[in-house]
Amino acid sequence: MLATVIHAARDIRVEEVPDPVLSTGGDAVVRVVAACVCGSDLWPYRGITPTHAPHRIGHEFVGVVEAIGDDVQRIAVGDFVIAPFYVCDNTCINCRNGVSTSCLHGGWWGSDDRLGAFADGGQGERVRVPLADGTLVSVPAPVSDAQVPGLLSLSDVMGTGHHAAVSAGVQAGESVAVVGDGAVGLCAIIAARRFGATTIIAMSRHPERQQLARLFGATHIVAERGDVGITAVQEITFGIGADRVLECVGTKESMDQAIRSTRPGGMVGYVGAPNGGPELPVRPLFNRNVGVNGGIAPVRGYIEELLPDVLAGVIEPGRVFDLELPLAQAAEAYAAMDDRRAVKVLLRP
């Protein structure tokens, strides 16, 4: 089969790789209907994370189950399934505590599972899925083609934006500022509105993304950064800062922006994977009673909660995909996101 392999920075190839096979009774093999490129895939692409040897890449996909092991009970051949961006059993103590990203038996796409069998990357024609009962969520049939982007967003970005809002404790009637206008930041706006926030400030400098932010529920746009941006947020929020700030980038600058845009007693929900060394300034947090909560989003646990709203069209996170390419053009997908010509690219095998 064909799958995406990263060989080095800016060297993405679609190559022939071994077909996945069932390895344990708990496995499934999924034929990928759609996959996508994540902002975090750009780190190895840009060379920020070194690539020492060619390896498979991609961790967001939806597809149809082609085969299951003898022990699989919740998933059937023919099911349309959503895969979260990691493998989990959904039964261990960490999964039950709502942190399935810390699953005691979990793992990551594009690498060996804990028993030593390979779990394929998501950007390919097929994927061997370990712990299929825990990892995969079936979508009630029929699934239309138009629903695919929204379902794919539940693999990562919509669940991650939701986690930012959950972590910050967003409640109805509150003010929320969102730092970051990538796919996760845009989904965080959807999540903030879904929780009933009435003032939603999108911090974005890009006209097309500002437009999407408005469509998703942003009531205000702040294009400025740094002190000027903080002053702009304060002017919208009674001069004190936002009740909740959702940090969806992961850099030192974005974390600083988030913390300083939060009102005394408010909370930052952070989901931007730390990149460039953000550190918490404890004394300013202490002085202003600002809390910081969040981390890698345990999206598996959010899929069932968000799925009905996606299927009903109540929320439309699939709109973050503004470019669709065949899998064969994966290299162009990376380039388009790297150049910010696309917010997020959907790949069709």
- Binding Zn ion (rule: CB under 5 A), the pick from 22, 28, 35, 95 is 95
Give min distance, CB of 134 to Zn ion, in A.
Answer: 7
Out of 1, 2, 92, 236, the only residue in the binding site for Zn ion (CB under 5 A) is 92
* Beta carbon of residue 55, minimum distance to Zn ion (angstroms, whole number): 25
Nearest residue (CB) to Zn ion, 57 versus 95:
95
Residue (88 or 268) nearer to Zn ion, CB: 88
- 3-class SS of residue 280: coil
Token pair belonging to 337: 């996101």
Classify each residue of 183-214 as buried b or exposed e, where b means 16 or more C-beta atoms within 10 Å of its C-beta. bbbbbbbbbbbbbebebbbbbbeeeebbebbb
- Phi, psi of 16, rounded to the nearest 5 degrees: -75, 130
Helices (H), the chain: 42-46, 93-96, 132-135, 148-153, 157-168, 183-194, 207-216, 226-236, 252-261, 282-288, 300-312, 330-338
Least distance CB 59 / Zn ion (angstroms)? 17
131 touches Zn ion by CB under 5 A: no
- Position among 12, 22, 103, 154 found at the interface with Zn ion (CB under 5 A): 103
Contact (CB, 8 A) for 120 and 63:
no
Which member of 27, 89, 120, 125 binds Zn ion (CB under 5 A)? 89
Residues 282-341 touching Zn ion, rule: CB under 5 A, are none
Judged by beta carbon, residue 180 or residue 298, the one nearer Zn ion is 298
Q: Which window, 64-72, 94-102, 111-119, 191-199, contacts Zn ion (CB under 5 A)?
A: 94-102
d(CA 297, CA 343): 20
Three-state SS for 139?
A: strand
What is the nearest approach in angstroms of Zn ion to the Cβ of residue 131?
A: 8
Please identify, using beta-carbon distances, which residue of 130 and 149 lies nearer to Zn ion: 130
Nearest to 279 by CA among 298, 318, 253, 302: 253
- Rounded to the nearest whole angstrom, what is the least distance from the CB of residue 332 to Zn ion in the complex? 37
Min CB(114)–Zn ion separation in Å: 11
Query: 9 or 117: whose CB is closer to Zn ion?
Result: 117
Residues that bind Zn ion (CB under 5 A): 88-89, 92, 95, 103
